Structures are given as structure tokens and as C-alpha cells.
Amino acid sequence: MNRFNEIAKSWDANPRRLLLAEKIFSAIEKKVKLNDKMHVLDIGTGTGLLLMHFITKVKQITGIDNSEGMLKVLKEKTHKAGVSNVDYMLFDAEKDILPENKYDLAVSSMTFHHIENIENFIRSIYKSLRQNGKICIGDLETEDGSFHSDGNAGIKHFGFDKKTFAALLKNAGFKNVSVETVFEIDKNQKKYPIFSAYGEK
């Protein structure tokens, strides 16, 4: 059973997740000038905590995720809010292929540590972007395995080293790469730094 299908209905009840999506969005806005012609791809969109920040600022947002339960909550949310510029794709980043030359901006919040082969996936994101497209990924910096208090099933990386993540983006072809700490999550009497990784095609 996909852990996210089980947790989907109560996902938004945790204020820490809402705050984190806000912080990751503001890190994106500092790097990318959003406009009403843009098509944005949100990777591991979940219930759309990050995606919902874009709806009034860009033309179209595609939310992709491999959890039907999470996508169902997102669909209900956008339907209720009368949002018409969001589409959804059930998509497994470990094996499915993104369409090429399609998006202006690829974003993600807290998803990459669930994906085993991020090297291949980042290359596939590069191909999916139009010329001058941008990538902006928020996730955990290297942690000691204590972040997920419900256990580490489905966790493929205990966060990422910022230099290693920058090298992955550069090796995939991205230019003007930066990886910066943008926030710290207070949890389990510890602080978990969050990075925002940026690059341009």
C-alpha cells in the first residue's frame, strides 16, 4: 500500500506542511518571475500544497504524483475552488517518461527524497523543459534518518548534500545552478534545513 494513499485525507491538517510549502514557494518566487504565459510542472504534487500558490499567477499547472489518494484530494480541492487551469497525471518518477519540450518551470516540494534514481529523473526533467525553462526544487538537506517519525519505509534518501545536488543539476545540463538553504523545520526537538535548488535550461 502506498503510504501517501493512507495519509492523503489528513495531509493538509498539519500546519508545518502548509508553512513549508509557503516557504518553498517564496524561494521559487525569488528566483523565477512568474507570468500568465507559463506552464508549470509540479512533481510529487500531493494534495497541491505548493501547486495552489501558482493558480492565479501562471497559465497552467500540471500536478504529477504516483499516489491516487493524494491526487484525489487535490482534484476535490481544485474542483471546490472552481480552479480551471490545473491538470493531473498519475505518474511514477521511477519509471514513467515526461513529455519533452513542454514546461516553462518544473517545481517540487519534499518529493525527491522519495525517488531512488534522481540522476536519471533530473535528466528527464531537463528534456521536459522548453528552452530557457527553469527548475526549482525544495527538499531536505542531509539528515540522520530521524525526520520521518512514522518510519523510513519509502524513504530513498536521508536528504541531500547541497553540493551533490548542484552537481546533479549541472551534469544534466542546467546552467546558473544554485542550491541554498531557505528554511529550517523544527521537529523532534531538532532543526532540519531545507534547500531550494535552481537551474536554467
Ligand X SMILES: C[S@@+](CC[C@H](N)C(=O)[O-])C[C@H]1O[C@@H](n2cnc3c(N)ncnc32)[C@H](O)[C@@H]1O
Which residues here bind ligand X, judged by CB under 6 A? Answer: 4, 17, 21, 44-46, 49-50, 65-67, 70, 91-94, 109-111, 114-115
User: Judged by CB, which is closer to ligand X: 37, or 151?
Assistant: 151
User: Judged by CB, which is closer to ligand X: 96, or 176?
Assistant: 96
Check: CB of residue 4 under 8 Å from CB of residue 46: yes
Q: Rounded to the nearest whole angstrom, what is the least distance from the CB of residue 84 to ligand X in the complex?
A: 21
User: Judged by CB, which is closer to ligand X: 44, or 133?
Assistant: 44
Mark out the alpha helices in the chain (DSSP H runs).
3-7, 15-31, 68-80, 118-128, 162-171
Residue linked to cell 490545473: 86
Give CA–CA dist 82/76, Å, rounded.
Answer: 10
User: Judged by CB, which is closer to ligand X: 65, or 104?
Assistant: 65
Give CA–CA dist 136/33, Å, rounded.
Answer: 12
Q: Rounded to the nearest whole angstrom, what is the least distance from the CB of residue 69 to ligand X in the complex?
A: 8
Q: Which residues 6+ apart lie within 8 Å of 154 measured at CB? A: 3, 114
Beta bridge partners of 119: none
Q: Which residues 6+ apart lie within 8 Å of 31 measured at CB? A: 134, 136, 178, 196, 198
Identify the DSSP state of 59.
Answer: S
Q: Rounded to the nearest whole angstrom, what is the least distance from the CB of residue 7 to ligand X in the complex?
A: 9
Q: Rounded to the nearest whole angstrom, what is the least distance from the CB of residue 94 to ligand X in the complex?
A: 5
Q: Rounded to the nearest whole angstrom, what is the least distance from the CB of residue 46 to ligand X in the complex?
A: 3
User: Judged by CB, which is closer to ligand X: 32, or 194?
Assistant: 194
